[in-house]
Amino acid sequence: MPRITCKQAREIPIIDYLERSGFIPVKINLESYWYLSPFRNESTASFKVNVKKNAWYDFGIGEGGNLVDLGIRLMNCTVEQFLAELNLGNYAVEDFYQNNDISRPVLPNNRIIILGVTNLKSENLLVYLRSRGIDPEKAKEYCKEVSFSFGKQSFYAIGFQNRSGGIELRNNWFKGSSSPKDITFIDNGLDHVCVLEGFIDFLSLLALKPKTIFNFNVIVLNSLSLIGKSITLLKKHKEVLLFLNNDEAALIAHEKLKAAGIESHDESEFYKGFNDLNDFLVHQHKLTDSNIESVENIVKISLKMRR
């Protein structure tokens, strides 16, 4: 997968980045998109994006700039750390540019449009889940099969809904979401919560530690960049467990929660040495499959010796 450079990041449409981060314009006037400021709580939109110049300006603080300027301010990080977040896969180059042509931005009409939602049944999707170590029958309790269009083509994927009605979409070659982008909250009526980056991690934890899923509320961020949108919910819980990726972006998220006054427990030691929960789960399945194969070979050898 191509790595996004600083120059390429500045060319990414700011309104696309904001949409994927859960920020929706409250008013559109020709080339000006107006938002409630992502930097503070407000009732009147004072944050403007000029789509022609691909630049933003916040009238409340008197500051503006390009996408990189926005990202490092939103995440309170360095340029290098922001680029690392873009390159995690949440904001892959192909999510923003057609046919991997880095010079051509996605046109406004090339949005993901949901065409239909049904129960999971397509064998290709079920096979993909099994390849990730996930029981399709368990996934069916939380996920749907979603048909959608992107540009002039139609596709289908596993869908996982967020609290605002948007749907995370995943199959063996595609990762994206419909608007609006938001977190998912599974409320089991408890005062402790576990936090995961994506729904594949959620399904992985369900496979590895089902009691945790049933004995905790669950927040699935659907993008680590939405960590700020979880803060209000997190403050309502006495205990917060973080099952985030083992990477630099997760460390930034830890610090952001700490700065917001949220004490949390890092559970990544459980899958130390692996990028995320699903990598760990897949590895466990490979070990199990290898053990089964070894036992089958021993049985075969034993039968031959008896003959």
Domain boundaries, the chain: 6-100, 112-177, 184-277
Q: Using CA atoms, how far apart are residues 26 and 28, in angstroms rounded to an integer? A: 7
Most confident of 12-21, 86-95, 261-270: 261-270
243: closest CA among 276, 282, 214, 273? 276
Read off the pLDDT of residues 82-131 as tens digits, 9 standing for 90 and up.
887 776 544 444 444 433 333 333 334 446 789 999 999 999 999 999 99
Q: Does domain 184-277 have CATH number 3.40.50.1360?
A: no
Tell which wins on pLDDT, 231 or 60: 231
Category of 148 on φ-ψ map: left (φ > 0), alpha (ψ -120 to 50) or beta: beta
Q: What kind and span of H or E run contains 86?
A: helix 79-86
Q: Does domain 6-100 have CATH number 2.60.120.280?
A: no
Mean pLDDT, range 128-154, rounded to an integer: 91
247: closest CA among 265, 273, 221? 273
- pLDDT of 109: 43
- pLDDT bracket for residue 41 (50, 70, 90): low
CB-based contact 226:198 (threshold 8 Å): no
Residue for token pair 């399945």: 285
